[in-house]
Amino acid sequence: MQKKVIFRGVALPVALLLPQLVITGIFFFWPAGQAIWSSFLREDAFGLSREFVWFENFADILTDPNYLAVAWNTAIFSAAVAVLAMGVALFLAVQADKAIRGATAYKTLLIWPYAVAPAVAAVLWLFLFHPQIGLFGRALNAAGIAWDYKINGGQAMTLVIIAAAWKQVSYNFIFFLAGLQSIPRNVLEAAAIDGARPTRRFWTIVFPLISPTTFFLLVVNLVYAFFDTFGIIHALTQGGPGLATTTLIYRVYVDGVQNLNFGSSAAQSVILMALVIAMTAVQFRFIERKVHY
């Protein structure tokens, strides 16, 4: 049964909605519209001359082999970050969910990294893995493993994945822990009485019951890896060596801010915008419906 409250007239509901509409308009639709408009233009850095070029910027991007390489990097990077961040978080959450001494302290400590700014996180990892000044970087080289992420694309990618995933573990941990705690104890106890061992209980009861959380986190983590990892990449590798750690969002920055190609950069953001709209739509359509609290 649904109960609907209906306002009389138009003025009051509009007035009530207005602040939200204004904020959405100014901070979302206006810049998004600007980006779409710029993506059809070619202009010089100073904005003194401009040319309307229809879809030329898009055509240039999509036929650039380097853009496709960057898209592939992004896919690998995002998948690896999501899997790593969620896997580690789930493991930690399962451990913290057990009746252990000092559980609260563990939980609190595990949440801390989320409060660290991405650039700062990157600097911390840099101090660990820099081949000359980093603790582990020097140890690896001393052990005979040629560690130098400045000239080894695979190592650079590994490093940014670890740094980016580490940042996100805390966030995932909170959600997984909440999910685990909402599982009814009596179900688990019944399974235990029936003789199911912890591993079996996890895969047959716990994992299916937290699947809505997992799906939600998957989307959040992918969006994070796509859009919020700029600071980490910028501080650690600047997208190098070669283009090994350049992701789509990092390239938007390089083309727009460093190279001052506003048209190309805008076209790339429009592509990303379409991507995130698609991801959000998927989340709403298929995942939100399955969440039952």
DSSP for 80-93 reads HHHHHHHHHHHHHH
Contacts 24+ apart (CB under 8 A), 278-287: 279/219, 279/222, 279/223, 280/219, 282/219, 283/216, 283/219, 287/212, 287/215, 287/216, 287/219
- Work out whether 56 is an interface residue with another protein (CB under 8 A): no
Whether residue 73 contacts residue 250, with contact meaning beta carbons closer than 8 Å, is answered with: no
Return the SS3 of 33: helix
- Work out whether 153 is an interface residue with another protein (CB under 8 A): yes
- Work out whether 152 is an interface residue with another protein (CB under 8 A): yes
- Work out whether 135 is an interface residue with another protein (CB under 8 A): no
Nearer to another protein (CB atom), residue 42 or residue 201: 42
- Work out whether 132 is an interface residue with another protein (CB under 8 A): yes
CB of 133 to another protein, least distance (A): 8
Nearer to another protein (CB atom), residue 16 or residue 260: 260
- Work out whether 62 is an interface residue with another protein (CB under 8 A): no
For residue 250, give both structure tokens: 């990092």
For another protein, which residue of 261, 265, 268, 269 counts as binding (CB under 8 A)?
261
- Work out whether 2 is an interface residue with another protein (CB under 8 A): no
Tell how far CA 225 is from the center of its chain: 3
Residue 196 exposure: Cα atoms within 13 Å on the Cβ side: 16
Question: CA dist 177 to 46, 85, 90, 197, Å?
Answer: 52, 14, 8, 21
- Work out whether 158 is an interface residue with another protein (CB under 8 A): no
Whether residue 72 contacts residue 247, with contact meaning beta carbons closer than 8 Å, is answered with: no
- Work out whether 123 is an interface residue with another protein (CB under 8 A): no
CB of 264 to another protein, least distance (A): 8
Q: Give the Cα separation of 187 and 147 in Å (integer).
A: 49
Q: Give the Cα separation of 148 and 242 in Å (integer).
A: 14
Nearer to another protein (CB atom), residue 62 or residue 151: 151
- Work out whether 198 is an interface residue with another protein (CB under 8 A): no
Which of these ranges, 41-49, 71-79, 82-90, 283-291, lies near another protein under the rule CB under 8 A?
Answer: 41-49
* Nearest alpha-carbon partner for 40 in 64, 26, 61, 68: 61
- Work out whether 260 is an interface residue with another protein (CB under 8 A): yes
- Work out whether 174 is an interface residue with another protein (CB under 8 A): no
- Work out whether 113 is an interface residue with another protein (CB under 8 A): no
Whether residue 265 contacts residue 256, with contact meaning beta carbons closer than 8 Å, is answered with: yes
C-beta atoms surrounding 222 within 10 Å? 18
- Work out whether 268 is an interface residue with another protein (CB under 8 A): no
Which of these ranges, 5-13, 20-28, 255-263, 268-276, lies near another protein under the rule CB under 8 A?
Answer: 255-263
For residue 35, give both structure tokens: 């980006």
Nearer to another protein (CB atom), residue 238 or residue 283: 238
For another protein, which residue of 23, 258, 276, 280 counts as binding (CB under 8 A)?
258
Nearer to another protein (CB atom), residue 96 or residue 248: 248
- Work out whether 76 is an interface residue with another protein (CB under 8 A): no
Q: Where along the sequence are the contacts to another protein (CB under 8 A)?
A: 42-49, 51, 66, 132-133, 150-153, 238, 240-243, 254, 257-261
